Amino acid sequence: MASIIFLDSPVGSGFSYARDPNGYDVGDISSSLQVVTFMKEWLNDHPRYCSHNFYVGGASYAGKVVPVITQYISEVGNPITGSKFDKNFHVPYSHGVGIISDQLYEAAVTHCKGHFVNPTNQLCANVLSTIHKLMSEVSDGNILEDKCVKAAPKPTIDVSASRALLEEYNQLHKPPIRPSIDCLSYRYYLSYCWMNDNTTRDALKIKKGTIDEWLRCNKGVLPYAQDIPSSLNYHFNLTTRGYRALVMSGDHDLILPFLSTQAWIGSFNFFIANDWRAWHVDGQAAGVVPMLLQQTSLNNLLPWGNGG
């Protein structure tokens, strides 16, 4: 049986808060160190877990700081990397799945010379502008999903919202725009209603008066410093020391295309231990996975998966 800790980090996200306003002034490095401090204190309070296997996980932006946190922990005991690979593969991926034409892709290659971020000439800028307009027509989180109204992190008036969902808020909050129930973002709308319900807060033992309104994304409110440009060196340092990593990358994700994941893992020049193969769930192919070995350690296994 596994125990999972879902940590509200950095401070100010979720129901976490700082007693001093200066405590919200954090970034990649300082928030990672805070997570390490928390885990050390938690394990001191729960020593029976010290002998268990310990895994650090995170997706999207949290995937960037996972190897940072892991390295700090190791020193004392479809993920973002922040590298050039993350954004530069939007164009090749869009071409591969048919969002843009062969002609448009070839024009981008010709005028941008393979560098599809921060164009250095007008011809490159023009073709990228056309590509970005086409990319904006699809749901970037899953290109096969309907493009829906996002459940905006900053609430707006929604006159169609059910009164039963609102009566617990005592007229203090206004929920986000409600997407269609068929949309993936509908769950974000529900999470806003659920997290701002007094019964939920009581069950989670949230200290009254600390968080007035729960927001799924507190963008633009917290002074967060992105002070780690890339986490690739952390990934490489950990794997060369024998730590295992499971890197997952969805093949329908336009925000962080699986091509970028392939590229940064490939830049490590690992050996391929097993051939590219399918992995299965309930007898059905759910994705594909190669198994990679770092050159200097036969005990270091770095699998990564690609699935929808």
State how far the Cα of 168 lies from the Cα of 174, in Å rounded to an integer: 11
The string of pLDDT tens digits covering residues 149-197 is: 665 444 443 433 333 333 343 344 566 678 888 887 888 888 898 999 9
- Name which of 70, 117, 115, 34 is nearest 231 in CA terms: 70
Q: At residue 297, does pLDDT exceed 90?
A: no
- Name which of 162, 163, 155, 107 is nearest 131 in CA terms: 107
21 Cβ contact partners less than 8 Å away, ≥ 6 residues apart: none
Sheet holding 301-307: strands in order across? 247-250, 301-307, 284-293, 271-281
In the chain, what are the domain boundaries? 163-215
Burial of residue 166 (CB within 10 Å: 0-12, 13-18, 19+) is middle
Between the alpha carbon of residue 22 and those of residues 12, 17, 254, the distances in Å are 11, 11, 36
For residue 229, cis peptide bond before it (omega within 30 degrees of 0): no
Say how many residues make up the chain: 308
State how far the Cα of 201 lies from the Cα of 45, in Å rounded to an integer: 24
Q: What are the respective helix, strand and coil percentages of the chain, to the nearest 5?
A: 40, 10, 50
Percent of the chain past pLDDT 70, that is, above it, reads 81
135 Cβ contact partners less than 8 Å away, ≥ 6 residues apart: 90, 94, 99, 100, 254
The string of pLDDT tens digits covering residues 70-103 is: 888 876 546 666 667 778 999 999 999 999 999 9
pTM summary value: 0.67
The string of pLDDT tens digits covering residues 14-62 is: 899 888 888 888 899 999 999 999 998 998 999 888 888 888 988 888 8
The answer to whether 303 and 291 have CB atoms below 8 angstroms apart is yes
- The more confident residue out of 243 and 304 is 243
The answer to whether 286 and 111 have CB atoms below 8 angstroms apart is no
